[in-house]
Amino acid sequence: MKTSEIGLSDNLSPSLNIREITAKSEWEDFLNKENPATFLQSWNWGEFNKSLGHKIWRLGLFNNNYLIGGALIIKIIARRGTFLFCPHGPLMRRENLRKLIDYLKDLAKKENCGFIRISPLMIKTPGNEKVFRDLNFRKAPMNMHAAELVWMLGVIPNEDELLRNMRKTTRYLIRKVEAHDGVEMIKGNSPEHLEFFKKLYGETAKRQHFVPYSDDFLNKEFEAFKNDNQIEIFLAKYNNEYVSGAMIIFYGDSAFYHQGASSLKYPKISAPYLFQGEIIREVKNRGLRYYNFWGIAPEDKPNHPWAGLSLFKKGFGGFSAEYLPAQDLPLKKSYWITYLIEKARKVKRRL
């Protein structure tokens, strides 16, 4: 029987046990074997959350002292409620989930949490949905990350083939801006690069009317990944001004377009297209397999706030991957206050 066909079992091996992992090498060695890659379970993402003041646990599932599963757990304390959160995890066979959930229930009680939220890195299928229903989870009113429906590009083909697989308009605009004098591409991971990006990011937030991450958030995210060469800032410069920027995280076999920014001051200069081409080139140079453009809008929601950005991303070729939406396990009646608040936020943001 294939792993994907095994259901949840009440007869778990008595040799299974859960304990915290404190060695970075042990955690990263396990994660580097996982597919698909996710930086949201990485050691550095845990360190980043600690720097924000969150309490974290790196839980390992062991079978006779052999590590067979892992889950980064973050305690979120927010005005809307306190809960345990597992982003893009847990990374384990689904028949072992009950063992973890029982552990998390006890942990949530000790930490006075109202619910457990899991954003699983599991493809959305009826079988996978049933796994969480059988554990008494329900679909969360909103996601924590824009990574439920993502757009991915395999970068193994050579550049000519990648260009051929792009939308005709995208290919034309890349070549047009390549031929345009004055567009300069810059990349690096110095504090100066980050400052230029943050300024552009702030302008983008004002223009597009979204609540941006704080400077403190961006600074700490940058610092968490910088020392391992897992983050880089890409900037496009025209007429001595920065017109496009992105914060790219490199982890496992993939690169992730996690934060982006742009200016509309020079609308005739298609810098974002050349800019993305440079990122794809860097992904290839690092010997990685995939470029994850991060979240896109569903096909059936043409008025979604991300519709235009999604069209832009898809123009570079690639494929979509749809994961299960975030799943909640209510533990207290106070959960329903959180549920109503988040439901209202989702409606307000037209997501």
DSSP structure string for 204-246: HHHHHT--PPPHHHHHHHHHHHHTTT-EEEEEEEETTEEEEEE
Preceding omega of 36 cis (within 30 degrees of 0)? yes
Cβ–Cβ under 8 Å, residues 218 and 201: yes
For the question of whether the overall pTM of this predicted structure is more than 0.85, the answer is yes
Residue 299 is predicted with a pLDDT of 85
Other CB atoms within a 10 A radius of the CB of residue 248 amount to 23
Contact criterion met (CB below 8 Å) for 116 and 108: yes
Helix axis angle, 215-226 to 191-208, nearest 10°: 140
Rounded distance between C-alpha atoms, residue 241 and residue 196, angstroms = 10
Distance CA 150, CA 320 (A): 6
The Cβ of residue 79 has, within 10 Å, a number of other Cβ atoms equal to: 7
pLDDT on residue 6: 32
User: From the first residue on, what is the mean pLDDT of each consecutive set of 10 residues in the chain (351 residues)?
Assistant: 35 77 97 89 98 97 94 94 95 93 97 96 94 96 83 91 90 79 86 94 87 92 96 92 93 93 82 87 94 90 85 93 95 92 77 60
Kindly state the DSSP code that residue 247 receives in the 8-state scheme: E
Strand order in the sheet with 81-87: 16-20, 55-63, 66-78, 81-87, 115-119, 327-330, 138-139
